[in-house]
Structure 1
Amino acid sequence: MSKLNEGKLTIEQLKRLVFKNISSFRKEVLTHPYIGQDCGLFDPANNIISISSDPITGATENIGRLSVEINLNDIAASGAEPFAITVTLLCPIGTKEEEIKKIMKEIDETAKEKNVQVIGGHTEVTSSVNRIIVSITALGIINRETYDENIEIQEGFDIYITKDAGLEGTYIIGTEKENELKDILDEEDMNKLKKYSTLLSVIEDAKLAKNSGALLMHDITEGGILGAVWESCELVGFGAKIYKEKISISNTTKKISNHFNINPLKLISSGSLLFFASKENRKEIELAFQDKEIELSRIGVITKEKEIVLIDKGKEIIVEKPQSDELYKVI
């Protein structure tokens, strides 16, 4: 297919490359993206709307799927059910039509899997970027009757994470740097990367956590597990003690981290959910995740001191506020 000219896509290109590849629908959405339809309208039936927006900048492979997954994760972590997304594609000069089509197919496929509708967006070729940037805004619905704006976190609450540390970062690096890692990763590692590609959603994790007593949830994105703990504690005004040996880190992640000299606890981990919960809910929470066969680790405890302390083989290490994600040392 031909390369795209700079500027907005033509009407015919939009029809062929974008609109033709959108097929997800929700009853709450009153409009569908098309020429002249710049806004999505919806009827939330007196519920509360949760909104989040994030771009994909650290990956080139499977960015359509990744962009949907990470934004829906933020919505799910807020306790909402995702129902709609807008999509913005910023493409460098020289982008081919087939690249747009592929991304839109990935986005649509993932949206249908998650029962989410694409309601609008923007696609443009611009010299301002040197690779395709996908930015998505996601919307979710929270039942007004179950919404509680007062999150009463207390000293002694358990801190949990689901799945493995550095999940998304491991997947991205393993995919983007496959040639460089071919002598380091074996068949078992490659199977782990394939598995990680199916574990990037926390929608089910968040439902289980919320229904079994979690009082605060946070999708573990840039800054990794330590960054997520720091941000969540900053929000509620408490500190935490985290025990490194209780954090699940796969051998694949360890190999990649050692090769690139990065910290897996500061590596982006979409697909993993952090949440706080009272000890009174410990049995219910852990049985719920066990029944659904979703890996769950109790990694620490909330403290009244505001410091975040990582305990590694008995040594206490103060966790500083998150900086740039470890992913950007590699990609």
Structure 2
Amino acid sequence: MPGKVSPDDLLTHVFQRTGAAETDETVLQGPAEGEDAAAIDWPDGEGTLVVSSDPISLAASQVGQLGIAVATNDVAVSGADPRWLTAVVLLPTGTDTTVLEEITNDLDAAARELGASIVGGHSEYVDQLERPLLSLTAMGATERYVPTGGAKPGDAVVLTKAAGIEGSAILAADFGDNLDVEPELRDRAASYLEEISVLPESRIVREYATAMHDPTEGGVTSGLLEVARASNVRLEIDRDAVPVREPTAALCAAAGVDPLRIFGSGALLATVPEDTVDACLIELDEAGLEAATIGTVSALEGGDPELVLDGESIADPIEDELYPLWAQADSKE
């Protein structure tokens, strides 16, 4: 089955095998469920170094821009401005050099737009690949590290932009021709790829947030559950309060998927103390950034961390609802 490795398998096979990290006092945050970035204490009081890595495999015309956004989002939601990047570019054997040129031009432009420097990496041709594969590591420094697992009872839950931004663009690109959706709505959804970065809103929200997270695979629902589990709390969410744009709603209805359970990059999830959430929302609005309060954080009264969505308790990992669509499409070829 495609998708993320299960939390149980990560705990058994990954999180317990981290070299000297367990005894290294400079490692403030190592591998853990829901935490997409590491935090390393810089010597001499220079703050915290935040590091995150992400792979991406798409057409050459998209992979650079999206790769930069996806990798730097995890640094941004940890409270840092992305500053340095390394890029590993793997290409199918026999790929024309124009593809490498297109990817590296795209990487360069996207990094310059964010003010980040590409400081190293690796490029190679691989027999087993069918499409380009890019793996990026992003790094940045902050004086105030914000984890996924920092949500506190009483906090408000905030979502910027809307649910299913990346998933909407994927639906438009990969399945749009077979969905009964107006072309104008499909075109709007396809343009959402330009909104994947959450750096602008993170620069505002980080001054208020107890926790921030970048919902990706499994969408907003999965992102909320990851915050709950990482913070050991209960999140109570009102579905009607979750912003869903018109093109997203139309595409998801036509495809038979839940907009809250498809790839969610482009939105920022945060928990903010109740007494400062209004100030946070006002500042976002003044900056021209969409945001809404969608629920609250409460303490556990026994039992495991959970997400409660309109009264439904969700405690198990979420499978992104786009995966079955891809599987169906592959089976018809």
Q: TM-score range by the shorter chain?
A: 0.7 to 0.9
- Give the structure 1 partner of residue 165 of structure 2: 167
- Give the structure 2 partner of residue 299 of structure 1: 294
| Corresponding residue SS for 1:155 | coil
- Give the structure 2 partner of residue 20 of structure 1: none
| Corresponding residue SS for 1:302 | strand
- Given candidates 174, 181, 187, the residue that maps to 1:190 is 187
> Conserved in 2, the CA contact under 8 Å of 1:164 and 1:248?
yes
Q: Could you list the per-position Cα deviations for residues 137-196 of structure 1 after superposition, in whole angstroms to 9, with x for gaps in the alignment?
A: 1011113xx457897643221001001101011112212334334x523224413432x1
Greater Cα shift, 184-193 or 82-91: 184-193
- Given candidates 312, 317, 320, the residue that maps to 2:312 is 317
Runs of 4+ in 1 over 6 A off after TM superposition: 148-151
> Conserved in 2, the CA contact under 8 Å of 1:157 and 1:277?
yes
The unaligned stretches of length 5 or more in structure 2 are: 1-42, 327-333
- Give the structure 2 partner of residue 286 of structure 1: 281
- Give the structure 1 partner of residue 140 of structure 2: 140
| Corresponding residue SS for 1:62 | helix
Between structures 1 and 2, the one with greater helix share: 2
- Give the structure 1 partner of residue 255 of structure 2: 260
> Is 1:208 the equivalent of 2:204?
yes
Give the aligned residue type for 1:217: M
Q: Distance in 1 between matches of 2:230 and 2:93?
A: 41
> Conserved in 1, the CA contact under 8 Å of 2:147 and 2:212?
no
Q: Distance in 2 between matches of 1:158 and 1:310?
A: 15
> Conserved in 1, the CA contact under 8 Å of 2:215 and 2:223?
yes
TM-score for both structures, normalised by structure 1: 0.79
Once the two structures are superposed, the pairs formed by residues 41-120 of structure 1 within 5 Å of their partners are 46-57=46-57, 61-120=61-120
> Is 1:330 the equivalent of 2:319?
no
Q: Distance in 2 between matches of 1:56 and 1:192?
A: 20
- Give the structure 2 partner of residue 129 of structure 1: 129
| Structure 2 CA distance for partners of 1:152 and 1:199, relative to 1, 3 Å | closer
Q: Give identity over the alignment, percent.
A: 27
> Conserved in 2, the CA contact under 8 Å of 1:61 and 1:176?
no
- Give the structure 2 partner of residue 158 of structure 1: 156
Larger Cα Rg: Structure 1 or Structure 2? 1
C-alpha RMSD of the superposition: 2.4
* CA deviation after TM superposition for structure 1 residue 48, in Å: 2.1
> Conserved in 2, the CA contact under 8 Å of 1:59 and 1:176?
no
Q: Distance in 2 between matches of 1:82 and 1:61?
A: 23
Q: Distance in 2 between matches of 1:44 and 1:184?
A: 57
Once the two structures are superposed, the pairs formed by residues 213-224 of structure 1 within 5 Å of their partners are 213-224=208-219
Give the aligned residue type for 1:200: I
The unaligned stretches of length 5 or more in structure 1 are: 1-42
| Structure 2 CA distance for partners of 1:321 and 1:150, relative to 1, 3 Å | closer
TM-score for both structures, normalised by structure 2: 0.78
* CA deviation after TM superposition for structure 1 residue 286, in Å: 1.2
